[in-house]
Amino acid sequence: MMKQQEELSHPLTATITKTNTLLHIQSLLPSFTKSEQKVAHIVLQQTDSVIYSSVIDLAEKAGVGETTVLRFCRKIGFHGYQEFKLALAQELVNPVKNLHGEVGEDDSLDIITHKVTATNQQAIGDTSALFQLEQLERCVDLLQKANTIHFYGVGTSAVTAQDAKYTFLRIGLRVDAFNESHLQAMAAATLGPGDVAIGLSVSGSTKDTIDSLKVAKQAGAACICLTHYRRSPITNVADITLLTAAQEGPLQGGSLAAKIAQLHVLDVISTTITMRNKEKALLYKERTAKAVLERKY
């Protein structure tokens, strides 16, 4: 009996459904510490923006440390911040917006087409506006001189990583891409001075990718990250941060706009390297094209 009472009182065993997270926070408000109450008030007052915020963003908005945000999430029954954000996204009153930007339930095919097109175009325009030429220049310089280049990504970012591998391979760079956590870690451990590891993460909080960059950095490689959030865990590891404009809510995993933004940055970099090494790039483009020629009708 005593064991059952302990389980019922433990925060991790609180009954939380997809529709009562905010109510649960309100009911627990008096039991939070002063720092946790600051987080709770931000969540209750700015729920729409919180689902697009990194753990560092929320901590800064509340004026507390990141550990306080994580402790708050655990206290209301979640294992981590991402699980908490997913619950919030599921609870909001406009699920269609959370699935794809500003698309409405009653929009016609014509309107949906225009809205999706505008979203993807804006992702490129806004990403270009975030370019810091000094950072891009450093990135291009590192990649041109790199002995080996690794791309790390999971989910949508894994697709981008594979695309980057094909793109940079065609212009003569020694590059590979890894999307499985164990392979990422092992590959990162083989890098050293003169090598470059590039982590792709829209949220900047993808643990596998961040951990792999840490291993690469410890091995002596230079680290670059592509992320939407200027202040996120991945930027603490990276030597160079390249920002992408398109963000994803928890229900928007695989957002094409986010992927387009990543590809745009990589396209600018690969094009710059190609133009600065025309002869080498042309030679390898011809070689790679001939290598697959017989595999096409």
Q: What would the DSSP string read from start to end of 139-167?
A: HHHHHHH-S-EEEE--THHHHHHHHHHHH
Give the Cα separation of 232 and 229 in Å (integer).
Answer: 6
Confidence of residue 140 (pLDDT cuts 50, 70, 90): very high
Q: Are 86 and 251 in contact (CB under 8 A)?
A: yes
Cβ density class 97-115: b for 16+ within 10 Å, e for less: bbebbeeeeeeeeeeeeeb
**116-295 and 2-93 share a CATH fold:** no
Q: What is the mean pLDDT of residues 151-167?
A: 94
For the record, the structure tokens of 202 come out as: 């829209």
In the chain, domain spans = 2-93, 116-295
> For residue 107, what pLDDT band results from cuts at 50, 70 and 90?
confident
Residue 95 confidence (pLDDT)? 44
User: Edge-to-edge, what's the strand order for the sheet holding 196-200?
Assistant: 175-178, 149-152, 196-200, 222-227, 240-243
pTM: 0.70
The pLDDT score that the predictor gives to residue 171 is: 93
Of residues 207 and 99, more confidence is placed in 207
Helix (H, G, I), strand (E, B) or coil at 149: strand
Which pLDDT belongs to residue 14? Answer: 37
Q: Which of 100-104, 133-137, 167-171 has the lowest mean pLDDT?
A: 100-104
Which fold does the domain 2-93 belong to in CATH? Arc Repressor Mutant, subunit A (1.10.10)
CATH of segment(s) 116-295: 3.40.50.10490
Q: How far apart are CA 141 and CA 178, in angstroms?
A: 23
* Cα 20 → chain centroid: 27
